[in-house]
C-alpha cells in the first residue's frame, strides 16, 4: 500500500479549501466522480499532487446509474466553473469513473455527462481500480462503498483479477434513518454524515452494514484476500470496518477521507 497515503489525503483535504492554485500554470490531471450522493471534481498538478478540488451533494445518480442527465451535466458544469475560477485557467479534459458491472450503455452515459459539461473524456475507469491508483494495493481487495453501490476489485501482484458491483450503499443507510427517525431524506443524510451522531445511529444502520459485508464476503469467496481496503463516502461511517472484518474474517482498513480516494485516483488516468 502507498506509504504516503495519509499525507496525500491530507493534501487533498487542503486542496478542497484552497482558494487559488497560487499561480500554477503547468499541466493538470482532472478526475470526475459522479456518485449517487456526491459529485466530485479533483485537479492534480503535473506530479499528481492535489491542486484544487470541489464536491457537492446531488441526487442525479441512483445505484450507479445516471437518472438525471440534465441535472448531472448542470452540476458538473457548475463544479467545473468553480474550480476554473480558483485555478485561473480553463479545464479541457477529464477522466471519470463507473461502478463495475453496470451495462455499457450506462458507462457511455457517464462519458456523455462529462463531454456535455465541456470536457473531453480521456478515460472511463471502474471505481475500485481508480481508487487503487492512489492506494497502490498489490494484493488484496479494494471495496468502494458509495451512496448507491458497493464495488469490489480483487488484486493479485498489482493486477485486477476480478471486479463486481451490487446496489447497496450509503443511500440505504439514509433511508433506514429517515424511516426510523421520521425525517426527510435530506435531514437523515445530514444526520448520517455527522461523526458525533454516528455511535448513536450505529445500531439502526448495522443491518445494512452487515448486508454490505455479506456482499463482499460472497464476491471474495474462492480468492485469497488477506486484507480489505475500504473507500467511498460510506466507509467513513464509524464502525463499518469492524462489522465487515467480523463477517468476512478479513482484516479491514479505512483511510482518512475515503470519499476522495476514487476521484483522486481517476484523475491519474487523464
Mean pLDDT by 10 residues, the chain (270 residues): 92 96 96 93 98 93 87 97 98 95 87 97 94 96 93 93 92 96 95 97 98 97 96 96 98 95 97
Residue 176 C-alpha cell reads as 433506514
Q: What CATH class is the domain 132-256?
A: alpha beta
Could you tell me how far CA 246 lies from the centroid of its own chain?
Answer: 23
| Beta strands across the sheet bearing 29-34 | 50-57, 38-44, 29-34, 93-98, 120-126
The answer to whether 54 and 263 have CB atoms below 8 angstroms apart is no
Collapsing DSSP to helix, strand or coil, 63 comes out as coil
Residue 59 C-alpha cell reads as 441526487
CA distance 44 to 69: 26
What beta strand segments (E) does the chain contain? 29-34, 38-44, 50-57, 61-62, 65-66, 93-98, 120-126, 140-145, 150-156, 159-166, 227-231, 251-253
Q: What's the maximum distance between 2 C-alpha atoms anywhere in the chain?
A: 51
| CATH code given to domain 5-128+259-267 | 3.30.420.40
End-to-end CA distance of the chain: 22
Are the folds of 5-128+259-267 and 132-256 the same? yes
The answer to whether 238 and 195 have CB atoms below 8 angstroms apart is yes
Q: How many CB atoms lie within 10 A of CB 190?
A: 14
What is the pLDDT at residue 36? 84
The answer to whether 150 and 113 have CB atoms below 8 angstroms apart is no
- Domain positions in the chain are 5-128+259-267, 132-256
Nearest to 115 by CA among 151, 77, 149: 77
Amino acid at each position: 500500500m502507498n506509504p504516503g497515503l495519509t499525507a496525500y489525503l491530507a493534501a487533498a483535504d487542503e486542496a478542497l479549501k484552497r482558494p487559488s492554485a497560487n499561480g500554477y500554470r503547468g499541466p493538470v490531471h482532472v478526475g470526475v466522480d459522479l456518485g449517487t450522493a456526491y459529485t466530485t471534481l479533483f485537479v492534480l498538478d503535473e506530479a499528481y499532487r492535489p491542486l484544487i478540488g470541489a464536491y457537492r451533494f446531488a441526487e442525479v445518480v441512483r445505484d450507479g446509474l445516471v437518472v438525471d442527465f440534465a441535472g448531472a451535466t448542470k452540476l458538473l458544469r457548475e463544479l467545473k466553473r468553480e474550480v476554473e475560477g480558483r485555478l485561473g485557467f480553463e479545464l479541457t479534459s477529464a477522466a471519470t469513473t463507473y461502478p463495475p458491472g453496470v451495462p455499457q450503455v450506462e458507462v457511455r452515459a457517464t462519458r456523455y455527462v462529462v463531454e456535455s459539461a465541456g470536457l473531453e473524456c480521456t478515460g472511463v475507469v471502474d471505481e475500485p481500480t481508480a481508487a487503487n491508483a492512489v492506494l497502490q494495493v498489490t494484493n488484496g481487495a479494494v471495496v468502494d462503498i458509495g451512496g448507491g453501490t458497493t464495488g469490489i476489485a480483487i488484486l493479485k501482484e498489482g493486477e485486477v483479477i476480478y471486479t463486481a458491483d451490487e446496489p447497496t450503499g450509503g443511500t440505504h443507510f439514509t433511508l433506514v434513518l429517515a424511516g426510523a427517525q421520521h425525517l426527510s431524506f435530506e435531514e437523515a443524510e445530514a444526520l448520517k454524515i455527522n461523526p458525533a451522531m454516528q455511535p448513536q445511529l450505529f445500531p439502526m444502520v448495522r443491518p445494512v452494514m452487515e448486508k454490505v459485508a455479506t456482499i463482499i464476503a460472497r464476491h471474495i469467496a474462492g480468492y485469497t484476500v488477506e486484507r480489505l481496503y475500504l473507500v467511498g463516502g460510506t466507509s467513513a461511517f464509524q464502525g463499518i470496518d469492524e462489522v465487515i472484518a467480523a463477517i468476512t474474517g478479513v482484516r479491514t482498513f479505512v483511510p482518512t477521507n475515503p470519499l476522495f480516494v476514487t476521484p483522486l485516483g481517476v484523475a491519474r488516468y487523464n
